[in-house]
Amino acid sequence: MSLDTPADPRARASDGDRDAVLVRLHTAFAEGRLDERELDERIERTLASRTHGELSVVSADLPAAPAQASGPSPSAGRGARLHLAYKGALSRTGRWTLPERATVVVYKGSGVLDLTSAEFAGALTRLRVIAYKSGVELIVPPGVRVEAGGVGVSSDVRGAVRDGAPVLRVKGLGYKGSITVKDHAARA
C-alpha cells in the first residue's frame, strides 16, 4: 500500500512500506532537502515504525515519491543527474556525458560508474553518492583530479594530474556500505 494514499493510520506497516519511506528519505537527502543528521534520525524512526501513522509522520514534509523510484535508474539518457538503484544493480559505462552536478543513490544493491570514457560537462564536477547497505565503485580516467570525502568513502587514485585536468569532487555517505573511487589502473 502506498503511503501517499489514505490508509488507516493504525494499520501495521510492512517491510515494503518501510523500504518505500527509506528510498524517499535517501532521495530527499540526495536532492539537498535533508542533511546527514536529519537523514540518520529519520532512518532510525522509519525502522522503528510499526504503523502507517508512524511512517507518514517521518516523511510528511517531503514531496511525494516519484513514480519511477522503485524502477530502474533513469540514467539511460545523456547527462542524467540522478542515478538510482533500488535493491538492484546500477552500471554506467561507455561514452556518456557526466553533468556538472549529479547524484547516485544505491539502496541495498551495487553500483559501478565507469567514467573512463565519460565526457565531463565542466571543469568541476560535483558528484553526491549515497550507498545504503551497498557498495558503489567509481572508476576515473587517468589525469583527473579527485577530491573525495564523506562517510564510508575511500579513494585509491594514483598517478599524475595534468594541468587543466577536470576536477571530480565526490561527497559520499556510505551508511552500512562503501563508496570506492579508483583509477582505471587500480581496478585491474
* Of the candidate ranges 29-43, 67-81, 157-171, the one whose mean pLDDT is the lowest: 67-81
The C-alpha atoms of residue 127 and residue 43 are separated, in whole angstroms, by 22
Question: Please, which residues have CB within 8 angstroms of residue 181's CB and are 6 or more apart in sequence?
Answer: 138, 140, 146, 148, 153, 154, 155, 156, 157, 168, 170
Question: CA separation (Å) from 67 to 2, 64, 171?
Answer: 11, 9, 26
Beta strand ranges found along 115-185 (DSSP E): 119-120, 124-132, 135-140, 145-151, 153-156, 167-175, 178-183
**C-alpha to C-alpha distance for 146 and 140, rounded to whole angstroms:** 8
Query: What DSSP string describes 73-84?
Result: -STTSTT-SEEE
At 180 the pLDDT is 95
150 within 8 A of 173, measured Cβ to Cβ: yes
* pLDDT tens digits along 116-165: 999 898 899 999 999 999 999 999 988 888 999 999 999 888 777 777 88
Instruction: Say what the pLDDT of residue 185 is.
Output: 67
Residue type, 117: S
pLDDT tens by residue, 79-118: 568 888 888 899 998 888 889 999 999 999 999 999 999 9
The predicted pLDDT at position 112 comes to 94
**Which of 112, 36, 31 has its CA nearest to residue 66?**
31
Mean pLDDT of 13-24: 84
Top-confidence residue, 161 or 17: 17
The reported pLDDT for the residue numbered 76 is 37
The C-alpha atoms of residue 67 and residue 80 are separated, in whole angstroms, by: 17
pLDDT over threshold 70, residue 71? no
Return the C-alpha cell found at 23: 528510498
Q: Parallel, antiparallel, or unpaired: how do β-strands 89-92 and 167-175 relate?
A: unpaired
| Percent residues over pLDDT 70 in the chain | 86
